Amino acid sequence: MTPADSSSGPSGSAGASPTGQPRGEKTGRLSWISSTYFGEGLPWSFLHQMGTEYLTAIGASKTQIAATSWLHLAVTFKFLWSPVVDLFGRKRTWVVLLQLLLGLGMFAIAAVAPGRNLTVFWMMLGTLGIVHATHDIACDGFYLQALDKQRQALYSGVRTAAFRVAMITGGSGFVVLAGQTSWFWGFGAAGVLMILVGGLNAAIMPHPPQPEQPQRLSRELLSDVRPARDRFVSSAPETRPPRAAFWAAYRSFFRQPQAALVLSFMLVYKLGDIMMFAMSKPLLRDIGIDTSHRGILNGIGTVSFIVASISGGAAIARLGLARCLIPMTFMQNLAIPLYIGLALLRPRFTGVIPVIIAEQFAAGIGAAAHVVFLMQRCRAAFSASHYALATAVVSLASTFSGAISGPLNESVGHPLFFTIAFVASWPSLVLVLFVPRAPIEPEP
C-alpha cells in the first residue's frame, strides 16, 4: 500500500465516503484498478474474440478457428515463469512496459492481417499470447501488493467489471469497426487503445513499497528442502541466490495448509459453470435466437454480470469471505438448471432475457467469491507467482471442460448436456463446506 492507503479517514468525516475512505483515495484506487484490468481484458479479447472473428471473416477452416483455444495454454503454464516477475524489478514497471509491448504487438498483427498470411499471423498471435500471460502475472501481482486483503475483496468486482468492459470493446466495438472498414483498422485501433492504457497507467498507478523480499522466507516455508537448501535459509539474506527463491515460490504454494483440498476446490469450482457457458451460444441459436438478438443478450448479460461482481466484492469486503463463500458458490451453480429449462421449453427472445439476467448475475456473484478465495491463498512474498499457480489450476479445468463440451453436447443433446453440467458442479458444492475460508496469511 501507499502511505495514503495505510489508513482511511474516520467515517462521516469531511471529505470521506460513507465507507470511511477519503474520496480522493477511493477515486484513485477505482481509476488505476479499472485501467489496469481493462488493460488485462483487452489483450484477451484481441486473442480470443477478435482473432476468432478475423479467421471466420477470411474463410479459414474450422480447425484453424478452433485453434485459438490453444492460446489458453500460455495462461495455463504462466506459473512456470511467474517467479521472474516477483524476483526482478517492480510489478508496476512490468505492468506498464508489457502494456506498451502488447500495443506494439497488436500493431504488428494489424500490419500482416490484410495479407492473410496465416503462418505469420499465428506466429505473432502465439507470441502475443505469451506476452499477455506475463502481463496477467504482473497485473494480478501488483493488485495483491498494492491493496490490503479487505480492499482486495472490496474491489474484486471492479476488476472483473473492467475486464468485461474490455471484452465488449474488443469483441463488439473493434469487430464492428473491422467489418465496416478493414481488419487493419480494427486490430490497429486496439493497438492504439492499448498504448493509451499503458500511458495512463504509467501516470496513475500508485508506488507501493516493495514487500519483504522472497529470499527472506522463513525456515518454516522451506523445511522440507534438502540440507543444501537449509544452508540457503541460514545464510545471510543478501547472499541467498534468487534461484533458490524461485523454487521456493512453488514449494510454498503447494505446502499451504490442506493443500490437496484447496487445489481440488480450485479445480472444480467453476467446472459446471464453464461447461454450461461453452454451449450456451449454440443452445440459443438452436432455439431460434439469431445473431443480432444474441448480441443484445450478450450486452444484457454482461451488465448483469458486472453489477453482480461489484456487489459480490462489496459484500465480501463487509462480511468476510468466511461468511460469503458457501452461499455464493451455491448461488453460482444452482443457476445452471435455468439452461435445462431453456433447452426444454425453448422460449422466445423475451422469455430468454430474464434467464440470461439471472444466470449472469449468479455467475458474477460466484466470480467475485472465486477471485477473493484465490487471492487469499497467496503469500505476500510470492503474490504474483502464487496467483499465477492458482489461476493455472483453474485454467486446466477450463481447458478440459471446454474441450469435451462440444462433442458431449453433439452426442447427448442440449437437455441432457446441461443436466450433466449441473452434476459436474456438485463436487464444488461439497468441497466448499470443508475448504479453509480464512486467509493463508492474516493481516499484519
Inside any domain, residue 45: yes
Residue 170 has pLDDT above 60, yes or no: yes
CATH number at residue 68: 1.20.1250.20
Least confident stretch, 272-286, 311-325, 391-405: 391-405
Contact present, 57 and 111 (Cβ < 8 Å) = no
Inside any domain, residue 186: yes
Q: Give 212's pLDDT tier (boundaries 50, 70, 90).
A: low
358 and 272 part of one domain: yes
Highest average pLDDT, of 41-50, 121-130, 263-272, 435-444, comes from: 121-130
Inside any domain, residue 56: yes
Contact present, 308 and 362 (Cβ < 8 Å) = yes
CA-CA distance, 259 to 257, in Å (whole number)? 5
295 and 429 part of one domain: yes
Number of domains, the chain: 2
205 and 276 part of one domain: no
Among 209, 242, 270, give the residue marking a domain's end.
Answer: 209
203 and 293 part of one domain: no
46 and 168 part of one domain: yes
Residue 279 belongs to domain spanning? 255-444
Inside any domain, residue 230: no
269 and 413 part of one domain: yes
Inside any domain, residue 218: no
444 and 310 part of one domain: yes
Q: Give 351's pLDDT tier (boundaries 50, 70, 90).
A: very high
Among 209, 233, 264, give the residue marking a domain's end.
Answer: 209
Inside any domain, residue 196: yes
> Amino acid identity, residue 435?
V
167 and 32 part of one domain: yes
CA-wise closest residue to 152 among 328, 387, 332: 387
Residue 216 has a CB neighbour count (10 Å cut-off) of 13
pLDDT value, residue 193 = 96
- E strands along 185-330, which residues? none
Q: Contacts for 277-281 with beta carbons within 8 Å, 24 or more apart?
A: 277/363, 278/401, 278/402, 278/405, 278/406, 279/405, 279/406, 279/409, 279/414, 279/417, 279/418, 279/421, 280/339
* Residue 1 DSSP SS3: coil
Inside any domain, residue 337: yes
Helix 383-412 to helix 259-268 angle, to the nearest 10 degrees? 50
Inside any domain, residue 224: no
- Name the average pLDDT for the chain: 78
Percentage of residues of the chain with pLDDT beyond 90: 26
Of the two residues 87 and 31, the one the predictor is more confident about is 31
| pLDDT (mean) for 326-342 | 93
Residue 44 has pLDDT above 60, yes or no: yes
pLDDT value, residue 231 = 41
CA-CA distance, 25 to 250, in Å (whole number)? 34
> Amino acid identity, residue 420?
I
CA-CA distance, 341 to 415, in Å (whole number)? 8
**Sign of the CA dihedral running 90, 128, 80, 221:** positive
| pLDDT (mean) for 146-162 | 76
Beta bridge partners of 22: 16
pLDDT value, residue 169 = 87
CA-CA distance, 268 to 115, in Å (whole number)? 42
Q: Cα dist. 296→168, 265, 289, 436, 439 in Å?
A: 12, 34, 10, 40, 39
Q: If you ran DSSP here, which 8-state letter would residue 146 be given?
A: H
320 and 177 part of one domain: no
291 and 358 part of one domain: yes
